């Protein structure tokens, strides 16, 4: 199994190459414009794998994505939630879809909240067993925090609805076993999270269950109020970046 995180510390962004060294196939998740198409292509070559798909956990609003360009450079499809209002053709991913690379599988869980098109990818390696051993949570669940609800639509009603969705999404992730590793799309001071986001790039479901302040909130209303109370200013050019990543000219 190949697990290769590629990070951009300046914005606290994480991306990943996940693959199977035996079959020699891999998937790139959330590639960053700041790292650039060439670095991903050459990293995959160094790892000895052929990339079969480029997937994004959601349409990002804090940084430029290079998923479309990377998919084109590799001649593979670009996977996004079927709920993404993108202007370009893409592989529409829905709840329960399974992306397979050799003995490694990524199962799509729709986890809306940060954006309606947010998904998490539950990672299994059949060679190890049937248990999920990791989950790529995108901007749903962070280490010590959860994704903010206001970047896709800043209308107050929509923010409340998104925050409700986020409550259910992050609690749904708690159905995974405690030892499951949590690998979000952000860490550190990323503008996509709140005040509690950890500097670490990853944790476990068990850690989050125990220490994430948002997962100690038992009812949705309190969760929604807490998220609203703690909202930070929007990242610069959030709407422009999301429009650009959707293939629209802002």
Give the binding site for another protein (CB under 8 A).
22, 24, 37-38, 41-42, 45-46, 48-50, 73-74
Three-state SS sequence of the chain: CEEEEEEECCCCEEEEEEEECCCCEEEEECCECCCCHHHHHHHHHHHCCEEEEEECCCCCCCCCECHHHHHHHHCCEEEEECCCCCCCCCEEECCCCEEEECCEEEEEEECCCCCCCCEEEEEEECCCCCCEEEEEEECCEECCEECCCCCCCCCHHHHHHHHHHHHHHHHHHCCCCCCCEEEECECCCCCCCCCCCCCCCCEEHHHHHHHCHHHHCCCHHHHHHHHHHCCCCCCCCHHHHHHHHCCCCC
Nearest approach, Cβ of 14 to another protein (angstroms)?
21
- If the CB atoms of residues 42 and 195 are measured against another protein, the closer one turns out to be 42
Q: How far is the CB of 47 from another protein (least distance, A)?
A: 9
Task: Supply the minimum distance, in Å, between the C-beta of residue 46 and another protein.
Answer: 5
Looking at the Cβ atoms of 15 and 163, the one nearer to another protein is: 15
Q: How far is the CB of 38 from another protein (least distance, A)?
A: 5
Tell me how far, at minimum, the Cβ of 24 lies from another protein, in Å.
5
Q: Locate tokens 């309190």: which residue?
A: 222
- Of 15 and 180, CB closest to another protein: 15
**Given the complex with another protein, which of 100 and 234 has the nearer CB atom?**
100
For another protein, the closer CB: 47 or 64: 47
Beta carbon nearer to another protein, 102 or 191: 102
The residue among 201, 208, 200, 196 whose CA lies nearest residue 232 is 196
Structure tokens of 222? 């309190």
CB of 242 to another protein, least distance (A): 27
């Amino acid at each position: 199994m190949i697990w290769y995180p590629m990070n951009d510390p300046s914005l606290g962004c994480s991306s990943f190459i996940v693959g199977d060294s035996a079959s020699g196939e891999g998937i790139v998740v959330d590639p960053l414009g700041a790292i650039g198409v060439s670095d991903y292509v050459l990293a995959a070559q160094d790892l000895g794998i052929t990339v079969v798909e480029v997937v994004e956990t959601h349409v990002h609003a804090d940084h430029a994505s290079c998923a479309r360009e990377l998919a084109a450079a590799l001649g593979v499809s670009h996977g996004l939630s079927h709920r993404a209002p993108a202007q370009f053709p893409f592989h529409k991913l829905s709840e329960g879809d399974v992306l397979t690379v050799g003995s490694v599988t990524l199962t799509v869980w729709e986890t809306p909240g940060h954006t309606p098109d947010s998904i998490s990818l539950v990672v299994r390696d059949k060679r190890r067993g049937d248990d999920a051993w990791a989950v790529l949570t995108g901007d749903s669940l962070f280490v010590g925090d959860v994704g903010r609800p206001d970047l896709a639509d800043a209308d107050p009603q929509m923010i409340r609805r998104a925050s409700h969705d986020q409550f259910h999404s992050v609690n749904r992730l708690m159905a995974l076993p405690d030892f499951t590793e949590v690998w979000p799309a952000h860490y550190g001071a990323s503008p996509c999270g709140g005040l509690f986001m950890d500097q670490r790039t990853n944790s476990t479901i068990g850690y989050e269950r125990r220490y994430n302040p948002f997962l100690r909130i038992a009812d949705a209303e309190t969760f929604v109020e807490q998220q609203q109370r703690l909202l930070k200013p929007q990242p610069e050019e959030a709407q422009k970046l999301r429009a650009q990543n959707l293939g629209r000219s802002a």
